């Protein structure tokens, strides 16, 4: 399986997701600022992957920070990484985890602090792969045999340290011997479905068909789709889910056609401080992502554009939330609290 992100002696190495599938190129981030840039520009993207990248970015920053000004530099490192993307809570979870460790090491020799933070970042990476495998194991049973699974965006190995959340469920179902194929929404405007999900599943030999976003309703109505599985960027206390723009429409269409709509995400995606999805901050991306296709304008110059990167799917459309600790069902206020314990 493709290596999304790796800690190496040279720095943090990432596959450049802005260039896939045409070019398979790796970039090496040698400073925390470069890691922040890679997150902002979506060289690396997907909620769990940016959580891992943020943890590695903090470790990288501390590795190069001056021992004399470490405390103030640590604050700057964390705030720079936290300012990259606002919606995926995993980013803040990764940074907070490093902050807690740093606080517990106060007064220790610099070499020990550096060593501990690097070890923690590598641990976050390994843990994420194990978590995704556990999500897959819990979710595989929900996938109907002999049917098509519809997914939106890319919630695969590329969006995580490896294996994937939604695609982890699909991989686990295939590993369990289920005969399934996948429909991937292209996912306008950044095309994570067309560029990343299709590429990743093809690499694995899992049958995949690309559809444009506006075809989802047609196929959900056809009876061919056995279930929808998507990832999540932030899940509020009541089970409302923020995920890639377009997810909400797919969920409503799935509900209308009585197709179960599942969300697969690690517990680190839960934000139980928020009562509902209305409070989830939604990132606005640059207008050119909508007005241009690979640098070529597709709309008149000066066109007014909205480009929210995520939408919120109300909990009532979600049949279950699949986590590494088990499957939560409505009422989510109760089931998510138990899983988060």
Kindly list the residues in this chain that would bind ligand MRU in the complex (CB under 6 A). Answer: 45-48, 88, 153, 155, 159-160, 165, 192, 231-233, 243-244, 309
Phi and psi of 210, rounded to 5°? Answer: -90, 130
Residue with Cβ nearer ligand MRU (73 or 283): 283
Residue 240 catalytic?
A: no
Q: Helix 70-82 vs helix 47-64: angle between axes, to the nearest 10 degrees?
A: 160
Residue with Cβ nearer ligand MRU (34 or 192): 192
d(CA 322, CA 168): 11
* Burial class of residue 181 in the structure, from the number of CB atoms within 10 Å of its CB (0-12 exposed, 13-18 middle, 19+ buried): middle
State the catalytic residue, choosing from 128, 185, 213, 233: 233
- Least CB distance from residue 108 to ligand MRU, whole Å? 34
Q: For the residues of 132-201, what is the DSSP string, one character each?
A: HHHHHHHHGGGSPTTSEEEE-S--SGGGSSSS-SHHHHHHHHHHTT---EEEEE--TTTTHIIIIIHHHH
Residue with Cβ nearer ligand MRU (244 or 255): 244
Q: Which residue in the shown chain puts its C-beta closest to ligand MRU?
A: 231
d(CA 340, CA 237): 10
Give CA separation, 93 vs 18, 42, 83, 122, in Å. 24, 19, 13, 15
The three state secondary structure string of 28-48 is EECCHHHHHHHHHCCCCCCHH
Say if CB 9 and CB 53 are below 8 A apart. Answer: no
Say if CB 78 and CB 58 are below 8 A apart. Answer: yes
d(CA 245, CA 239): 17
Active-site positions read: 233
């Amino acid at each position: 399986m493709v290596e999304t992100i790796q800690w190496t002696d040279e720095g943090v190495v990432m596959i450049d997701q802005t260039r896939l599938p045409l070019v398979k190129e790796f970039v090496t981030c040698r400073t925390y600022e470069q890691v922040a840039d890679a997150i902002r520009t979506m060289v690396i993207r997907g909620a769990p992957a940016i959580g891992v990248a943020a943890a590695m970015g903090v470790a990288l920053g501390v590795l190069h920070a001056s021992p004399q000004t470490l405390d103030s530099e640590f604050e700057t490192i964390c705030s720079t990484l936290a300012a990259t993307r606002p919606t995926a809570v995993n980013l803040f979870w990764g940074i907070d985890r490093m902050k807690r460790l740093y606080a517990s090491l106060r007064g220790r020799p610099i070499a020990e602090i550096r060593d501990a933070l690097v070890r923690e970042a590598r641990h976050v990476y390994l843990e994420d792969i194990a978590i995704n495998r556990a999500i897959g194991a819990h979710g595989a049973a929900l996938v109907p045999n002999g049917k098509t699974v519809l997914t939106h965006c890319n919630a695969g190995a590329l969006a995580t340290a490896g294996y994937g959340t939604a695609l982890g469920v699909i991989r686990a179902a295939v590993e369990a011997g289920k005969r399934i194929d996948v429909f991937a929404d292209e996912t306008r405007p950044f095309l994570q479905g067309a560029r990343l999900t299709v590429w990743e599943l093809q690499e694995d030999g899992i049958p995949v068909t690309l559809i444009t976003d506006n075809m989802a309703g047609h196929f959900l109505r056809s009876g061919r789709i056995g279930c929808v599985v998507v990832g999540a960027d932030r899940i509020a206390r009541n089970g409302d889910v923020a995920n890639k723009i377009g997810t909400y429409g797919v969920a409503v269409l799935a509900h209308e056609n009585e197709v179960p709509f599942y969300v697969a995400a690690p517990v680190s995606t839960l934000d139980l401080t928020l009562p509902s999805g209305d409070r989830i901050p939604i990132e606005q991306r640059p207008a050119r992502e909508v007005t241009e296709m690979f640098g070529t304008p597709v709309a008149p110059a000066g066109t007014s554009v909205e480009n929210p990167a995520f939408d919120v799917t109300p909990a009532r459309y979600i049949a279950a939330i699949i986590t590494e600790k088990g499957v939560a069902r409505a009422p989510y206020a109760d089931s998510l609290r138990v899983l988060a314990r």
